[in-house]
Chains A and B, each alone.
Chain A
């Protein structure tokens, strides 16, 4: 439905459940895709599954110098960078009163600062091309808050406001900046939940089930497309109706 032939995209966290599906969707739409993440083996497996237009670009986003290099590597591998999907994120959950400075800072570094640096690095090429798509994967938690996730929720709300600010700066250059905020999605991370935990979470979700990574990826694909040119600074909530407040 959406054609990204000739476009180049970088997806961080592509070794994860949601990131992998985002990469598959963009690739299937014709884009050349850079797969970034810390675990090289799953990235290589995904690249082999996809084909010639997939490039493996390992990066540890907690190493901020490496973050600056990642954009250069992506441009070197793909020739340009038209679409940036900041999907990678980490959690270091703890109750507020027990949260260490390190638990706070490590989540800020990866989820907020690395996102800032990747966007800043990608902008030069997008400005020159007069076209760009930035899609940041946030979370329902960035809107609702969540006990034990003060650090994580802060970064996701931070990315949201940062995205709106940048969206206003670069809208005149045909660069859009949007967020996708997933609710509870079936990934290796949420597989660990037991039935009781699932049931409790799903009480607040009218759809009555968890989301699939493909359902998040479909939203990212839309925002990356030419058809979404008139959408910027917004958040697409993909949560089964779980946060309508």
Chain B
């Protein structure tokens, strides 16, 4: 697993309080990992800080799963 994926997973695990094994490529933050809409805003904020990037609102809306997040950040960082 890439360094970016590791860092994203760490944030997701810490923020949502879920087990690392559940954070799979296709795991949806809301449907599978128990996030609410405010959690998803906070996750995006945490990604922005961790990777020093800006994630615009329209892009943030497309980040639904762990895999989406890693893919977006890999292309932006």
CB-based nearest A residue for B46: A128
A-B contacts, CB under 8 A, total? 11
CB-based nearest B residue for A172: B38
With both chains docked as a complex, state the minimum distance between the C-beta of B1 and any C-beta of chain A, in angstroms. 26
* Interface membership of B45, Cβ < 8 A: yes
Query: A170 to B36, alpha carbons, bound, how many Å?
Result: 12
CB-based nearest A residue for B48: A124
With both chains docked as a complex, state the minimum distance between the C-beta of B39 and any C-beta of chain A, in angstroms. 10
Structural contact, B45 and A173, CB atoms closer than 8 A: no
Q: Report chain A residues within 8 Å CB of B38.
A: 127, 169-170, 172-173
Task: Find residues 1-60 in chain B having any chain A CB closer than 8 Å to their own CB.
Answer: 36, 38, 42, 45
With both chains docked as a complex, state the minimum distance between the C-beta of B73 and any C-beta of chain A, in angstroms. 19
Query: A127 to B49, alpha carbons, bound, how many Å?
Result: 14
Q: Report chain B residues within 8 Å CB of A169.
A: 38
Contact with B along A99-129 (1 / 0, CB 8 A): 0000000000000000000000000100110
- Our pick among A127, A170, A172 for the contact of B45 (Cβ within 8 Å) is A127
Query: A172 to B45, alpha carbons, bound, how many Å?
Result: 17
Q: Report chain A residues within 8 Å CB of B36.
A: 172
CB-based nearest A residue for B42: A127
Query: A71 to B62, alpha carbons, bound, how many Å?
Result: 29
Query: A13 to B45, alpha carbons, bound, how many Å?
Result: 30
Binding site for A on B (CB under 8 A): 36, 38, 42, 45
Binding site for B on A (CB under 8 A): 124, 127-128, 169-170, 172-173
9 other A-B residue contacts (CB within 8 Å) besides A172-B36, A172-B38: A124-B45, A127-B38, A127-B42, A127-B45, A128-B42, A128-B45, A169-B38, A170-B38, A173-B38
Sample (8) of A-B pairs whose CB atoms are under 8 Å apart: A127-B38, A127-B45, A128-B42, A128-B45, A169-B38, A170-B38, A172-B36, A172-B38
In the A-B complex, the 8 residue pairs with the closest CB atoms = A127-B42, A124-B45, A169-B38, A172-B38, A170-B38, A173-B38, A127-B45, A172-B36
